[in-house]
Amino acid sequence: MLEEKNDNLQDADGKLETVSQEVEQTENEAVETSNETVEAEQEIVSEETAPEAEALNEVALSDEEVADDTIVVEEPIASGNEAVDAISNSNAEESEDETLAGRHEIPMLEYESLSMETLVDELEKLVAVEKVMSVKDHIEEIKKEFLSKYNHFIEEKKQEFDAENPDTLEEFHYHLPLKSKFDALYNQFRDKRNIHFKKLQNDLQGNLETRLAIVEELKNLINPQENIKDTLKHFNELRDRWKNAGPIPKDKYNHVWNNYHFHVENFYDYLHLDREARDIDFKHNLELKTKIIARVEELVEEADINKAFRELQDLHKIWKEDIGPVSREHREEIWNRFSALTKQMHDKREVLFEAQRGKETENLAKKKEIIAQIQMLAQEKVNAHALWQGQVEKVEALRSEFFNAGKVPADVNEETWSAFKDAVRDFNVLKNSFYKDIKKDQQDNLNKKNALLAKAIALQESEDFSATTPIMKQIQEEWKTIGHVPRKYSDKIWKEFKDACNHYFEKLKAQKNEVNEEEVEAFDKKKEYLEVLRTFELTGDHKTDLDAIKAHIETWKGFGRVPQTRRHIEGKFNKVLDVLFEKLSLSKKDTDMMRFSNRVEQLSGSDDSRKLENEKIFIMRKIDEVQQEIFQLENNIQFFTNTKNAKKENSIVLEVRKNIAKHKESLETWKEKLKQLREIKE
């Protein structure tokens, strides 16, 4: 649409050239007439322009009023129409600085809902835009939201620092790299803006002087004594110079444009010297303005109201700056049509704004509810760390919900933000009070963990795996039972403890891998030897055979331990021994002790010292049981032997004595086992 208007404007400029050509042709024809005719025409012109000259004198007298902004124009800039005034003011601002026009193309995001990281990313994108003033409002909004969130963040960190260090004289310092990046980007924008302002001020003043000079030339352009051809040529030159003069200060914009158009319209009225040429230009300007009105009628029905309103601003600028006046009979009527349509668009935009204000009111209600929920959490006393973590998660969720709720009415924005910060601050005070109370416990926990860490470090190089492994496992179990330590030490001490434990158990694992290979080899040897042992035959000589069996046992022991999952081969070996002992008619005690020696040998080769200890406890318990049995039997036999009529011991007494002897023999065996076990442990 704008391209179409620009094309039409070029045609309009061409029309004035056509007027000039037609006037030139008329004058040439006039030259060919008699002098009398020329003089007559000039007399007529003088009569017709006499009122015009008088009007021009009135204009000249009113120039002082022009300087006082009291010009009355046909299409007033300050029209009393709110819609037109709003567009005029906006165009005045954009005319001062053409880079402002680009701000319509850059959407204003809901910066309040963005995180600090996202705000900095958006700032980085906007700073890279060449038209620095087109992003000014966006960047200032980002600055406001970032600093609000940053100050809130620092305040929370300071409260945490004070809670963890109540007695410290150290000043609170917190460095956030993101803040440094924000400062650097904003300073970059500020420098670009200052350079832009400096250049703009110089340009604006120079352009203002140029335009005022053009207006002065327009004032003096109407001269009945001057050749109309030269006057038209001068007028076109002034128009071209005006279009290329550049922006001026916005506070001078309406005043200067009013002056310019006032004198342009006077010049057009002066063109009644050549009514046909003037009417052709009036007609062409009317066509252009009628096209603009037709386009505005389409914009009134446009769904995207903001987009339509921006185009309407551009059409107002074209109407005002690029199209000349129309005939007096149409000026008021066509302006009223344009103004009425502008008001319709403005009213639709106001309805949209009203809906937005309604949405902001809804957002305000949401944020008030969120603040109330945080205030309730700020009054709930919790006495456990896990529960406090739950409370913190709730507040964090409410904070995110607050930031995502959208904008609130501008007049309550600061009040709402302040209430939110106060609610979060109250919650943090309550939370920090709890953690301040448990800080002493955390310090005690730190001391306990440091002691366990020292033990773990001292044992991590130990190669006495059977003795060290249970200790290391016990240390780990104790570590689990100790509560939290201060946050600044937590990661460090845990890493050191974990590294020490891992170092030891990696060594243990490597040692076990080596042992496992030896155990598999021992199993293969024992399996092969078991087949040889099954073919062993006794010679009949008791001592020789007993020595041979003992030699087999020692050979068997020499093969070493077998894997845990293959210990069944020991049972097979014991069964072969049982058969040989039975053939040898070895006493039960000797047989039992030889088996026990073999068992103890296996236990002593185990990494688990608890097995030997358990065996010792079992034997001691058996000794107590046998002694109790002997005591009971001896107590019973006294009952029979102290009887007056007992002349001789009967069969029951003999059986009891026999049983006592058997238990005493068993007792000696158990005591000998205990002795052997103690010697091994020593």
What pLDDT, on the 0 to 100 scale, is given for residue 183?
92
Backbone region of residue 483 per phi and psi (left: phi > 0; alpha: psi in -120 to 50; beta: other values): beta
Q: What is the dihedral of CA 298, 303, 304, 310, to 10 degrees?
A: 20
The residue with greater pLDDT, 678 or 299, is 299
* Under 8 Å between Cβ of 260 and 242: yes
Is residue 272's pLDDT more than 90? no
Collect all residues with Cβ–Cβ distance below 8 Å to 357 and sequence separation of at least 6.
409
Closest CA to 104 of 72, 127, 137: 137
Is residue 501's pLDDT more than 90? yes
What pLDDT, on the 0 to 100 scale, is given for residue 27?
37
What pLDDT, on the 0 to 100 scale, is given for residue 15?
37
* Under 8 Å between Cβ of 134 and 106: yes
Chain segment 323-332, per-residue pLDDT in tens = 878 888 888 8
Mean pLDDT, residues 527-542 taken together: 81
Mean pLDDT, residues 445-452 taken together: 90
What pLDDT, on the 0 to 100 scale, is given for residue 98?
56
Closest CA to 288 of 2, 507, 591, 83: 2
Count of all residues that appear for the chain in the document:
682
Is residue 354's pLDDT more than 50? yes
The residue with greater pLDDT, 97 or 416, is 416
Is residue 28's pLDDT more than 50? no
Chain segment 198-252, per-residue pLDDT in tens = 877 778 888 888 889 888 888 887 766 667 777 778 888 888 888 788 778 877 8
What pLDDT, on the 0 to 100 scale, is given for residue 64?
32
CA distance 534 to 527: 11
What pLDDT, on the 0 to 100 scale, is given for residue 97?
55
Mean pLDDT, residues 317-342 taken together: 85
Is residue 74's pLDDT more than 70? no
What pLDDT, on the 0 to 100 scale, is given for residue 129?
81
What pLDDT, on the 0 to 100 scale, is given for residue 454?
92
In sequence order, what E strands does 484-532 have?
none
What pLDDT, on the 0 to 100 scale, is given for residue 9?
36
Tokens 């055979």 belong to residue: 545
What pLDDT, on the 0 to 100 scale, is given for residue 105?
66
Q: How confident is the model at residue 29 (pLDDT cuts 50, 70, 90)?
A: very low
Collect all residues with Cβ–Cβ distance below 8 Å to 294 and sequence separation of at least 6.
none
Chain segment 589-632, per-residue pLDDT in tens = 667 777 777 667 666 655 556 777 787 788 888 888 888 888 88
The residue with greater pLDDT, 372 or 663, is 372
Closest CA to 502 of 459, 560, 557: 459
Report how far apart the first and last C-alpha atoms of the chain are (Å, whole number): 107
Q: Which two tokens stand for residue 33?
A: 């007439």
Q: List Cα–Cα distances, 564 to 35, 520, 553, 613, 615, in angstroms.
A: 141, 10, 20, 19, 18
CA distance 240 to 13: 9
